[in-house]
Structure 1
Amino acid sequence: MAAVLNSRKTPQAVVAVLVAAALLASSASAAITCGQVGSSLAPCIPYATGRASALPASCCSGVKSLNSAARTSADRQAACRCLKSLANSVKSVNMGTVATIPGKCGVSVGFPISMSTDCNKIS
């Protein structure tokens, strides 16, 4: 009798595990990665460091793409953290210049671009 009960529970357990795995996979893929942020904003680095006087169109394309990808609060918070990390890793980045880039590209990010921004408070 115990073997019969266990065999009936096994398909339910397998379904429960598969559903849990699917939910974890979908939530993990929802957040923006630092790789995406870096790739999207790489064309902006010469402008943000003062090595280019004009804002490249490819920078604005990246900003717009990243803004479109950041649909949820978790996405925007992840992008904020990655942006701060990227800014820390790029020598001679001018955060004042960085803060102007979204506006120059016609994008409203909904939070201040600053090293003092608390990314956890972004909704």
Structure 2
Amino acid sequence: MASVLSKKFLLSFLLICLVLSPPQARAVITCDTVFNDLKPCLNYVLVGGNVSTECCNGLKSLITNAITIEDREMACSCVKNLATATTDEQVDRAASLPGKCGDLYI
């Protein structure tokens, strides 16, 4: 049950982050874009340690680029697909990324 709640928290938090960007007309991003932006975070999410600058830059890029409703829905779907095979610890580390990366709305 805790695993489901943790995953829901992570996905809810990411969705809130994506929703806060003002909508503009732009093509829908792809899962490849989402995966490429988040790929530098993979080591931290899987095993812990330090959050790299590249990870924070990728997370900021994803939030900046997911500005339309379609973009946000696609990003959310892609993140959900990534989260299906994670442990509770990995979900907790992923959920901690925005706090570790500082102000993501610059």
- Which band: TM-score by shorter chain? 0.5 to 0.7
Separation of aligned partners in 2, 1:43 and 1:88:
19
- Answering whether residue 30 of structure 2 is matched by residue 33 of structure 1, we say yes
Q: Per-residue deviation at 1:103?
A: 2.4
Q: Per-residue deviation at 1:84?
A: 1.3
Match of 1:70 among 53, 66, 70: 66
Q: Per-residue deviation at 1:87?
A: 2.6
The 5-angstrom pairing of residues 37-52 of structure 1 reads 37-50=34-47, 52=48
Residue 117 (structure 1) aligns with = none
Residue 121 (structure 1) aligns with = none
How much identity, in percent, do the aligned residues show? 39
Residue 105 (structure 1) aligns with = 101
Runs of 4+ displaced beyond 4 Å: none
RMSD: 2.1
State the structure with more CA Rg.
Answer: 1
Q: Secondary structure at the match of 2:84?
A: helix
Structure with the greater relative contact order (CA < 8 A, sep ≥ 6): 1 or 2? 2
The gaps in structure 2 that reach 5 residues or longer are 1-24
The gaps in structure 1 that reach 5 residues or longer are 1-26, 109-123
Separation of aligned partners in 1, 2:96 and 2:35:
18
Q: Secondary structure at the match of 2:79?
A: helix
User: Residue 70 of structure 2 aligns to which amino acid in structure 1?
Assistant: A
Residue 86 (structure 1) aligns with = 82
User: Residue 42 of structure 1 aligns to which amino acid in structure 2?
Assistant: K
Q: Secondary structure at the match of 2:29?
A: coil
